Amino acid sequence: MLDAGQPQDALNRAAPAAQRGERSLSRSPIGWLRDVVVAIALALLIIAFVYQPVKVEGTSMAPHLVDQQRIFVNKFVYKFEPIERGDIVVFRYPIDPRKSFIKRVVGLPGELVEIRGGRVLINGQPLREEYVPAEESDHDDFPPLRLPANHYFVLGDHRRSSNDSRTWGTVHRQHIYGKAVFAYWPPERFGPIETTNGTK
């Protein structure tokens, strides 16, 4: 606000400047439309290069993920942070890299993994897996296996109907290309995908 004692000619010069400032703040519809288009284009680029839409096929991750559910996979997260137990990862099927699988990481490199009567043991200690419903578990055994460097032991949550590391072995780090982070379809499952590391 100008001082009341300021000369009149200063007041006269100030008024047009203020009016010019007000006009500069106004935007034409074309300007707003251009900004919206640029924002949408940037968002699509981020989604295209960082996130990949994936359709879940089968019931091996039920009830956490269901058949035909659509999710986003973060393709860059593991360039900045390590793969952790409990992560739901998407990877190239070791036997046929043309196919992609989605499973939960249970065993980490260097760990001793064993399954006794359906109970997963990590370095001899039972792993609490609250994400595996009792009705979906099994009572099978898996002999002790020391995971090599850069190899992960992955299992489906629906143990009775999952084709996983118990059948075809571990997954090398280079085959894991993303982490499941967000579900967008169906609407009732919309939201972030929670993971748990399983408390021993």
* Residues known to be catalytic: 60, 103
For 178, half-sphere exposure in the C-beta direction (CA atoms, 13 angstrom radius) is 19
Q: How far apart are CA 55 and CA 6, in angstroms?
A: 70
Phi, psi of 180 (to 5 degrees): -70, 125
Which run of H or of E encompasses 102? strand 100-107
Identify the bridge partners of residue 185 per DSSP, sorted by sequence position: 70
Q: How far apart are CA 105 and CA 118, in angstroms?
A: 16
Q: How many CB atoms lie within 10 A of CB 94?
A: 15
Identify the bridge partners of residue 26 per DSSP, sorted by sequence position: none
